[in-house]
Amino acid sequence: MPLSHKVHFNLLDCILISMNRCRFHFEQIDPFGNYPTRPTTCWRPVDRRNRCIWHRNSRRKNVSQLAERRKESSESLQGSILRGCVIDSNLSFQACDLSEATFCGSSLQGTDFRDIIGIKTDFSGCNLSGADFQSAYVWGNFAGADLSEADLRGARFISCNFSGADLRGTRVDNAEIDGIFAGAKLPDNDIFPDRPMPTNDKLMKQW
């Protein structure tokens, strides 16, 4: 076969493959400057509706299918839509980038979030009791979430919204935690402030 024909077929193959890829584009911007801007494009196979299972805009996704598609190592799951899911300890997010992912209203009891990056991640209304956030870096929304008995040791929660959250029984050794705590149920621990942070904080207004 002539070389020109091989090049033509290879180009056609690339076009067909790209048509069956998610191509969700995300550009992470950390307002605190701790992580550089990292543009990424999802190249996972399309599941339905021209998106992969992570970026498909639907609720209550099948956790077994999610687990099958999770790499064993860390990966970028930026912008994932996981609303109203029931996720157990069999699906780990350890060391993943979950920036701008949406978990609102999900059951995440005992889920592994160690070492994650979570910039503008939405955990509002989630059941996170017993979840493991050791050494995580999060600027997120935990309004109304149940974080009771969660492990927050060594984590950094910067300007987060913990309004109405349950933080009783959390393990907070060497953690850095600040944000809004209006109506939150707090443990008897000096790491939590005695009063909410000022409501005019520009970063807070994003929640």
- pLDDT of the chain along its 207 residues, tens only? 454 444 444 544 444 445 688 988 887 777 777 776 677 889 888 866 688 999 999 888 888 889 988 887 889 999 999 999 999 878 999 999 999 999 999 999 999 999 999 999 999 999 999 999 999 999 999 999 999 999 999 999 998 999 999 999 999 999 999 889 999 998 876 676 654 444 445 555 555
Q: 39, 29, 34, 71: which is closest to 52 by C-alpha?
A: 71
Which CATH fold would you assign to the domain 1-207?
Pectate Lyase C-like (2.160.20)
The answer to whether 90 touches 70, Cβ cutoff 8 Å, is: no
Q: Please tell me the pTM assigned to this model.
A: 0.83
CA distance 112 to 103: 14
Q: 107, 101, 104: which is closest to 121 by C-alpha?
A: 101
